[in-house]
Amino acid sequence: MNIRPVREEDIEDIINLFRINYGDDYAIPEFYDPLWVKRGIYSDHIIWLVAEDEGRVVASGACMLNAGDYNDNIGEIGRVVVDPEAGGKGLGRSLLAALIDASDERVEFAFAEARTTHPKTQKICERLGMVPLGFLPMAYQMTWRESFFIHGQLFGNGKLLREPGSVVIIPEVEPLAKLSLRNLELDDSVAVQAKVKPYPSDGKFDVKPLTGEAMVRLLKIEHGRYVEPEIFSALQVDMGYAQLRSRRADYLVAQTGDHILGAVGFHFEEHDKTVRLIELIGEDDVAQGTLLRLAVESAEQKYNAEVLTCDVNAESPRLQQSLLELGFLPAAYIPGMVFHRTHRPDVVKMMKLRVKWDLGPLELTDISREYFDIVVPAFEQAAGK
């Protein structure tokens, strides 16, 4: 078996691997588009490898280097598919190991998402030192809404750049935080703040879609961008109006007259019917809380989102509490996931489900089950189970 970088002549073989494994139901439908796959092959943001057996492509996998902001140094390892006829030879494990080796000098945090319909990917991640960090119930639309585990590991200076003393979380996050910190062999002591007041959400002001004129004024607000960002994502308002429109990011802007108070950004993924909150800007607590509520309402009413997600700064207990009261629940705790200014903050991944609770068939490893047992009861309670 030979593992090598992908080439353009591999495109049809890769697409065929996805069809063999998923039919037409893979969570990222672009993988069936030859032009999209070709762009990925030549992208500077992707490390893409294939495994050959006697000249035939039998497995494919990639590391996406643009999973976070440009300076986050995050690698998303996955998209691994193996020809079922070549199974049982350790191809998936070999590919993941090769991807980690190829990327660990370019990333400080790497993660992978493992399916729960079988334990194979979970076991591979664990053997490679990618430890579980959370359980994402009904996260992606496959044949049904499948749940995934998120596995991760800090590389290079990743652990050294954390500031554990900055972590302040609400009680609902504490069990996840302690488990993730122990899994990464980090000190599991965290500051827990009970009875946190959420941001007020009853502001009275004009709320309009983002325009180029509003963006100029919005860029002058530092809070939520450079100062104390509370939501992390790869999409941010300083990317520019044209880029945000091309990425189909929505922003709601709060203003009184010509005075801009703040903005909230969110992104709709049509295939999975998922809305992700991507940014919250504003020095006014009332503006932030009201915009947050309006973004959730827009996700539910405009897009009829089945899942809402948000990567929350673990140093922002008020936003954690605000989302909790809007129906979000903690699903993962990811130490040192992103980079901001001088350190790597921890991230709380929070989710809200708006579909019938049905996890389908599950097969879990022992270490994965620890997350399942922490995350699931709160979601079941919210679903009335």
- pLDDT recorded at residue 24: 81
Q: Which token pair is 370?
A: 């620890």
- pLDDT recorded at residue 120: 86
Query: What are the backbone angles phi and psi of residue 132, rounded to the nearest 5°?
Result: -65, 140
Query: What are the backbone angles phi and psi of residue 266, rounded to the nearest 5°?
Result: -150, 160
CATH 3.40.630.30 region(s) of the chain?
A: 2-154, 192-356
Tens digit of each residue's pLDDT, the chain (385 residues): 899 999 999 999 999 998 988 888 777 788 889 999 999 999 988 999 999 988 899 999 999 988 888 789 999 988 888 888 886 678 878 888 888 888 867 889 999 999 999 898 899 889 888 999 999 999 999 888 999 999 999 998 999 999 999 999 999 999 999 999 999 999 999 999 999 999 999 999 999 999 888 898 899 999 989 899 999 999 999 888 888 988 889 999 999 988 999 999 999 999 899 999 999 999 889 999 999 999 999 999 999 999 999 999 999 999 999 999 999 999 999 999 999 989 999 999 999 999 999 999 999 999 999 999 999 999 999 999 7
- pLDDT recorded at residue 158: 93
Pick the CATH number of 2-154 from 3.80.10.10, 3.40.630.30, 3.40.50.300, 3.40.50.720: 3.40.630.30
- pLDDT recorded at residue 11: 94
- pLDDT recorded at residue 326: 98
- pLDDT recorded at residue 262: 95
Is the overall model pTM greater than 0.85, yes or no? Answer: yes
Buried b (16+ CB within 10 A) or exposed e, 268-297: bbeebbbbbbbbbbbebbbbbbbbbbbbbe
- pLDDT recorded at residue 249: 93
- pLDDT recorded at residue 255: 93
CA 168 to the chain's CA centroid = 21
CA atoms within 13 A on the CB side of 111: 26
Fold classified for 192-356: Aminopeptidase (3.40.630)
Which stretches of 91-173 are DSSP H helices? 91-103, 120-127
- pLDDT recorded at residue 136: 98
Yes or no: say if 17 and 52 are a contact pair by the CB < 8 Å rule: no
Q: What are the angstrom distances between the C-alpha of 381 and each of 29, 361, 376, 384? A: 33, 20, 9, 5
Yes or no: say if 100 and 336 are a contact pair by the CB < 8 Å rule: no
